[in-house]
Every structure is written in structure tokens, then in C-alpha cells.
Amino acid sequence: MKKWISYGLLLVGIPLVLLLGATVFSTKQYAWLAMAVMVLTCVPFFLSFEGRQHGATRLVVIAVLAALSVVGRLLFAPLPGAKPVTAMVVITALYFGGEAGFMTGALTAVLSNFQFGQGPWTPFQMFAWGLIGLVAGLLAKPLKRSRVALCVYGALSGVLYSLLMDIWSVLWYDGGFNLSRYLATVLTSAPFMAIYAVSNVVFLLVLEKPIGSKLDRIKTKYGI
Amino acid sequence: MNAIDRLHPTVMPVYFLAILLVAMFVSNPVISLLALLGGFLFCMTQCGLREMRAELKFYIPLFLLMALTNPLFSHNGVTPLFFMNGNAVTLEAITYGAAIALMVLAVLSWGKGFGRVMTSDKLVYLFGKAAPQLALMLSMSLRYIPMLRRQAKQISRAQKVAGMYSTESYFDRLRSTFRVISALIGWSLEQAVETSRAMRARGYGLKGHTSYSNYHFRRTDALLLTLAAILLAVVLVGIGMGAVDFAYYPAISALPHTALSVAVYTAFGCLSLLPSCIELGEQIRWNYYRSKI
């Protein structure tokens, strides 16, 4: 049943929203439409997560990791551009799978925006971070094996995150996609993009080992 | 505890979504202004005057930035004011930028006030029936955030006493923060396992579990929801009939002021101002009763 709702949303809901956008609300509503599409894209993941019974440990650990990445974002807030969120999401995905990565990313976006300000950009951040986690989960094997691959993934996800959020800003300001405005936005946010990419790599390199060993230690200590 | 807090958790999201829906879809300056007015007032009743003044310091530059940069990217419009690098800077582009900026500010202020009203327990209550596991996870994360912040402060204090955090340099602060996070991770993971053990010991996941909530759907809530439905219906019918159509390009059109469009403005104004009116009315009544003691 839930599976059908997910497929229905993806296959019918999104085209329907786009069609509505193209016909009824002729111009300038792209920001809204993009937001609706983002929300609809996130819903199937939530439904599939809800559909299975998870053990208490898994639920609590994912909740704690999401809270940790929110607190990490808060702790690093005085240092502009440096956000440990991506690293936390990727590490969660490596050890608990892509779905847990998606949940951590999406939860972090919602929860940290209670502090940094909720708005129509929240679904975009949910989607961006969730997707970073999901893909990291799918690539868990090669990413765990080689640190180089992990660094490349961190840098790439920083760049893609920035590019995606720039699309959002342009849609939001212009009401439509304006290429020259997009290029200007990308250019002005280039320093941030660089900081994202570099800080993701740094965070991943610094945090991956300690968190991994701590998870292992917990596993031995409590016999999970 | 204020008047809005006593309402059922379904009421405010309905108002919020209805106002945002109209404000973001309709490009009519009167609608944008009404939404902004309602948003500012609501934000003021929820966050207080001082916080609102701090917000304005951010809103006003944002407004100017958006209004003034739009002509750089959009050269539509029939009334050129002057030429810059061979491109026309038109009156229409500036007006459109200002109108979009008004809409953005309205959405921002509504979002801020709404975030203050929709506390996490209300969100969890709303989602708890449809998705109990997600709601549980959300509420646990929300509970962990202040706890972890407190713990992080304790760790960093302990490190300060031990002589770390000595300089103000970027890399030193970065290293210290990493140390705090590393300690925090170990501590919080142990917390997580202990919590899950406690949950299992108390029967989490067994059949016949119920959850507690303290919200009641009262007559006021029904009244407010009905009112919202009627007002929104009037506004939507008006929009459907083109009563508030307004265009910025190619030339700024005349502001519609037929009887129907005035009705739409009135209905939307009521919708937008009602939440703040409820709150203000409560505060006036409170002060009145207190003055009689």
C-alpha cells in the first residue's frame, strides 16, 4: 500500500505539479513548483522508512546522529561556511546505510533551520543533504575502502550542494530561471562553494576514523 | 501561554498555508502589502518588539538589494529611466523587483512567526498518527539538541580550564571545536544506547501502546477553521475570475478596484490580520483584567 503511494507520488504527483505549473499558474511560480517537487520527492523516502518496523536502537542512534550534526552546525556557526553536516550525513550513511543517511540529512535540515530560520528553502536543503546521504550509502563499499574516493565524494557533494542551492536562489528571486542571474549567483557564491568543498573534505578526514572507532567501541561495550 | 498557543495545532498551519499560497501565487501589490502587514504584526506579537527591530535591520537592506538589482538582470518594460552599459534600466523592472521583495519579506516574516508558534510538540502531535516512528525520531532529535549543546559547553569549559582554546586564531578555534565534537560524539552514542535499552525495558514496540497528548478541539478552533475556509474561498473565487490580475511587464497595469476585487482584498486582509488580532485582543483583555485587580 505504502509502496504504491510512493510510486504514485513520484510518477503521478510530480508530473501533475509540473503540468499545473505550466498551465494554471502561467508565470513566475517556479520557486513554489520546485518546492512542491522537492517535498514530493522526499515523501517516498519517509514513507518507506515508516513502512518498516525499526528497532529502538536504530531509531535512537539515527536521532542522535542527526542531533549531533545540528549541534555541529551550531558549534561551527561562528566560522563562516564550515558546516560538518555533510560529513556527518556521509559517515552515517557509510555505517548505517543509505536510508539512514537520507533520514539524517533531511532531519538535520529541518531541525537546524529551527535555529537558522525555516523557509521555502528548507525542502531544498532536505533534498540536497538527503540525496548526499543516500548516494553515499549506495557507494559505501568503495568509499570505505579508499580515503581518496571519500575526499572526492566530499568535495563533489559540496560543489553540487552549492549549485543546487543557487538554482533555488535564482528561482526565488526571479520567479523564473534566468541564466545570467544564475551565473552571477554562482560566481558570488563561489568562495562559499570552495569553503564547502574544502571543509567537507577536512571534516570527513578528521571525523571518519574517530566516529568509526567510537561506533565499534560502543558495539563491543554493549554487545550489539 | 498566549492565545495562539491555546488553539488546536491544526488551526495555525491552515492559516499559514492559506496566506502563503495566496501571497506567493498572486502578483498584486495590495495582496503583497496585506500579507506583509499581517506577517509583521504576527511576528511582532510572537517575538516581541525588540526582536522585530533586529529583524528589520536585515529586512530593509534585503528589500533594497532585491529591488535595485532586478533591473540589472531584467530589461523588460516600456519606460526606460536611463541606460547603463547599453542596457535600459526600466521603471517596470524596478517596480517588479520591489514587488517581489515585498512578497519575499512577507513570506520571511510569516515563516518566522509561524516557527515560533509551531513548537516541536505540536509538530510531533500532527505527524504522530500518520508516521509514529518518524515523529518519535524527530522528537528525540529535538530533545537531544539542547542536551548535546549543554554537554558541548561543559566539555569546552573543561578544556579551557586545561589550558586549551588559548588563542583567537582561526585554526586554533577549529582544532578546539573538533576536540569538543569528538568528545561529544563518544558521549552521545553511549547516551543513545542507554536510551534505547531503557525504551525496550519499558515496552517500546509492544502491542497496545498509546501516546499522551493534551490538545482538545474546541468550538473556537472549529469557528476559526470555518472562517478561514470561507475567506479563502472568496479569495480563490476572486482570483479565478481575474478580479485581482495585475501585470508589471511590459507596462505596469492599473490597479483593479471593482467591487469584486475590493471584496478579495478585504477577505485576504481579514485572513492575514486575524491571527494577530486574536493575539492582540487577548493581550488587551489580559491587561484590562489585570488593571481591575
Question: Tens of pLDDT along A5-62?
Answer: 666 666 676 666 666 665 555 455 666 677 777 777 788 888 888 887 878 888 898 8
**Hey, are the CB atoms on B190 and A218 less than 8 Å from each other?**
yes
- Contact B66/A173, CB-based, under 8 Å? yes
* Cell triple for B219: 468550538
pLDDT in tens, B208-256: 777 677 888 999 999 999 999 999 999 999 988 888 888 887 778 888 8
Whether B267 contacts chain A with CB within 8 A: no
Res B1: pLDDT: 47
H-type alpha helices, chain B: 3-6, 11-25, 29-47, 49-73, 91-117, 120-128, 132-161, 170-201, 219-240, 259-292
DSSP state of A28: S
* pLDDT score at B31: 92
pLDDT of residue B222: 94
Domain count, chain A: 1
Q: From the CB of residue B69, how many other CB atoms can be counted at a distance below 10 Å? A: 17
Q: Tell me the pLDDT tens digit for each residue of B30-47.
A: 999 999 999 999 999 888
Contact by Cβ (8 Å): B84, B75: no
Supply the pLDDT for residue A11: 64
Burial track A102-136 (b if 16+ CB lie within 10 A, e otherwise): bbbbbbbbbbbbbeeebbbbbbbbbbbbbbbbbbb
Residues of A in contact with B188 (CB under 8 A): 64, 67-68
For residue range B35-91, list pLDDT tens digits in order: 999 999 999 988 888 888 888 888 898 888 888 887 777 777 777 777 777 777 888
pLDDT digits (tens, 9 = 90+) for B284-293: 888 898 888 7
Task: Find the CB nearest A56 among B115, B138, B196.
Answer: B196
Task: Scan residues 120-149 of A and list those with Cβ closer than 8 Å to B.
Answer: 120
Taking one residue from A and the other from B, the number of pairs with CB-CB distance under 8 angstroms is: 151
CA distance B203 to chain A (A): 10
pLDDT of residue B235: 93
User: Could you say which residues of chain A have pLDDT below 50?
Assistant: 26
- Residue A41 Cα, gap to closest chain B Cα (Å): 17
Question: Å from A6 to nearest chain B CA?
Answer: 14
Contacting residues of B for A211, CB less than 8 Å apart: 185
> CA-CA distance, A94 to A98, in Å (whole number)?
8
B42's grid cell: 504576527
Cβ–Cβ gap A59/B145 under 8 Å:
no
CA distances in angstroms from B138 to A10, B133, B134, B270, B285, listed in the order given: 24, 9, 6, 34, 36
**B229 and A CB contact within 8 Å:** no
For residue A82, tell me if it sits in a domain. Answer: yes
Q: Find the CB nearest A218 among B145, B181, B193.
A: B193
Taking an 8 Å cut-off on Cβ atoms, the answer to whether B152 and A71 are in contact is yes
**Mean pLDDT score, B159-176:** 75
Confidence (pLDDT) at A19: 64
Looking at residue A28, its pLDDT comes to 52
Range of the domain at A145: 54-222
Here the cell at position A125 is 536543503
What single string gives the DSSP state of each residue in B79-99? -EEEEETTEEEEHHHHHHHHH
Confidence of residue B148 (pLDDT cuts 50, 70, 90): very high
CATH of the domain at A157: 1.10.1760.20
pLDDT of residue B164: 72
The 10s digit of each residue's pLDDT in B109-122 is: 888 888 788 877 78
| Whether the complex's predicted ipTM surpasses the cut of 0.90 | no
